[in-house]
Chain A
């Protein structure tokens, strides 16, 4: 197994809405990843990406975002739940790449103002993840009632989320390592 490169697991903040509480969740997840040895991360805020809306798909591929996805081994996607689903602009951004995602791990973090922690958004998201060629893990992190989980500055108020994030990241790292080995070493049968 190639271990000379650290695992690269960026966190995608999947909403552009003003006042978004998902930013606190995304920063928390990135901080949890940074605590791990041999794993690097960065926060990718979709509101900062130059994504036109007069075209779609790979026709609007941003070279910087594409490079970040190419060099990623796994993705943590933080999505709020808007009207029982994930934000359309998040899908617009993800749809701009394809080969960059194939056989890489994905974990989804749901955020909601209500009690369900984005579970409906996550359920909607799974077929998209699959078609993009990503491999979803079976752990999620669900930030329900998010205004009670973080204060206005983003400070975590419920320490249980540290343990939940740890389990989520353990699984994501395992999947990322396994898939990297496969991408690097196992040829497609033909």
Chain B
């Protein structure tokens, strides 16, 4: 369970969020092409959940590092 990037902080309650999923997204916007993972064939969206309040948040895999 290695964490390679900084944890997201919940904007609702300030708790550290848990990165529990990566979702492959089809590139639909021009800026998506700049973040394309050519090996996986799309853009990776990291999905995070707040154990404190249940809020969800996401970021592109190459953000927030």
- Kindly provide the distance from the CB of B63 to the nearest chain A CB, expressed in whole angstroms: 13
Considering only residues 2-17 of chain B, those with a C-beta below 8 Å from chain A are: 2-4
- Chain A residues whose C-beta falls within 8 Å of the C-beta of B57 in the assembled complex: 99
Cα distance A102–B57 when bound, in Å?
A: 10
Q: Are B21 and A185 in contact, CB atoms less than 8 angstroms apart? A: no
Interface string of A64-84 (1 = CB under 8 A from B): 000000110100000000000
- Chain B residues whose C-beta falls within 8 Å of the C-beta of A183 in the assembled complex: 18, 20, 49
Given A70-B56, A99-B58: A187 and B47 interface contact (C-beta under 8 Å): no
Q: Are B55 and A71 in contact, CB atoms less than 8 angstroms apart? A: yes
Closest to A56 in B: B28
Closest to A69 in B: B56
Contact of A98 among B2, B25, B53 (CB under 8 A): B25
For chain B, the count of residues having a C-beta within 8 Å of the partner chain is 23
Cα distance A182–B1 when bound, in Å?
A: 13
Contact of B23 among A8, A73, A98, A184 (CB under 8 A): A98
Q: Are A188 and B51 in contact, CB atoms less than 8 angstroms apart? A: no
Interface string of B43-57 (1 = CB under 8 A from A): 001010111011111
Closest to A102 in B: B47
Considering only residues 49-98 of chain A, those with a C-beta below 8 Å from chain B are: 57, 70-71, 73, 98
Interface residues, chain A, with chain B CB atoms under 8 Å away: 2, 5, 8, 57, 70-71, 73, 98-100, 102-103, 133, 180, 182-190
